[in-house]
Amino acid sequence: MKKIVFFIMALAMSATMMAEDHVMAATKGSKPSDVSSQPTSLSLSLKEAQDYAVKQNRTLKNASLAVQEAYAARWQTIAAMLPQVDGSYSYSNYLGYTASMSMPTGMPAPNDTRTIDINMPNVGAWGITASVGLNGQGIVGALLNNIAIDMKKIALEQSESQLRGSVMGSYVSVLALQSISDLLDSSLVNIQELETITRYAVEAGAAEQTSADQIRVRVNTIKNNINAQKRTIELATNSLKVLLDVPVETELTLTEDLATVLAPDRVVALLGENFILENNLNYQLLKKNVELAQKNVAMAAVAYGPTVSLAYNYTDQHYYGDGGMRMTPPNVVQVSVRMPLWSSGKRAAGVVEKKIALEEARNTLSETTDNLAIQYRQLCFNLTNAYETYINEKDNIEVSQRVFNSATEKFKWGASSNLELTNASNDLINAQSTYVQAMLELVNAQVELEEFLNN
């Protein structure tokens, strides 16, 4: 019997070690980042920024930890069906108590008895209990845990995809704002040159002071726009730092330009990709939800099944002194089978409830499957429209810049009025704002389609 105990203990220890190794493998590489080790400066391309955010972002780390929690929960369910071994030790001290027992002597006198004193020595007892219990709910529960792990992994993939899209949007925002700031700087140089020429003309009596004042107003307007643009760039850069999970003091340099990030061939290639339903993460998640509902029905159904338990108990006692009676057998084997017989319809109602939930999950999956095809067409339309708008606005800003440069040059030689210069300046500022908005809409449309296709 001791060999049996040792065998069960060895089996339980092996299963425990396997579970720990599996969970540790799942958690490997998930140590929190050391804030003190973060760099003081970063130079990142778009791909490098996305990879860095995936590695550092705490929200994504929480999603990864959720996967590890699901692994640990599965091993708990499996371990509950593996051998459980418990050890125990107890010590009893009767403080010198002596038990007395009266027994008849067998003589003719009716009250002729004798008393036997029984010493109650101190006793120590140790034991080992090994047990195994198995039922249908435990097996189905392990399968449910497998589905839960898959769903957590899909959720992790969704979080990573969304994070990469957010980084791309923020990255492009910074680049777009910087490009507009450069245009404003060049416009300021031109208008300041006009201000100087106009001031000399006023001093020479060749121009009125009103013209110089109007030019001065344009200079101040562009300066205000530049200052506002710088603050907006700082805000957008800080938003990108939040996604990268770096301190606000970190000096961040973006190594890619807009022409590379907003390459037309990327948009054309994306629009040319086929929609594969099985690659869509929302579809995968809903499909797993149907599988989960099916297993819940099975879980409710196996409640009708039996529970089989096997237990072995070994007990040894040691008496510290004379006397004592061994009333407890050293070896006990127990086998039990528990079968549910009547629950007043509780289990039947549970099965009906899970079947209804399964039907709801199937309806949701069917509806989503139909809607995904429509959603794909809409996202392609949005990207096409955003791309065409971006191309038009890019052309508009180039035209507005040429018109402004031309108006500036003509104003130098007196060939255009102050009003024409003011209108050209306003058109350029409006074109710059619309251009930035068109770029952001293009990026958002591209990110949405990439997430939908699970690129």
Asked if 94 contacts 292 with a C-beta cutoff of 8 angstroms, the reply is no
84-92, strands of its sheet edge to edge = 84-92, 122-135, 307-320, 331-338
For residue 30, what pLDDT band results from cuts at 50, 70 and 90?
A: very low
- Among candidate residues 335, 353, 307, the one with its CA nearest the CA of residue 139: 307
Give per-residue pLDDT as tens, 31-90.
444 444 667 888 899 999 999 999 888 888 888 888 888 888 888 888 888 888 888 899
pLDDT tens per residue, range 157-179 = 888 888 988 898 899 889 888 88
Determine the average pLDDT of the residues in 303-325: 81
Query: What confidence score (pLDDT) does residue 305 get?
Result: 83
Tell how strand 113-119 and strand 307-320 pair up.
Answer: unpaired
pTM (whole model) above 0.95: no
List of E strands, 50-121: 84-92, 98-104, 113-119
Four-way CATH pick for 43-82+137-305+346-453: 3.40.50.2300, 1.20.1600.10, 3.40.190.10, 3.40.50.300: 1.20.1600.10
Half-sphere exposure in the Cβ direction for 214 (13 Å, CA): 15
Task: Using the structure block, give the residue that is written with the tokens 């220890």.
Answer: 13
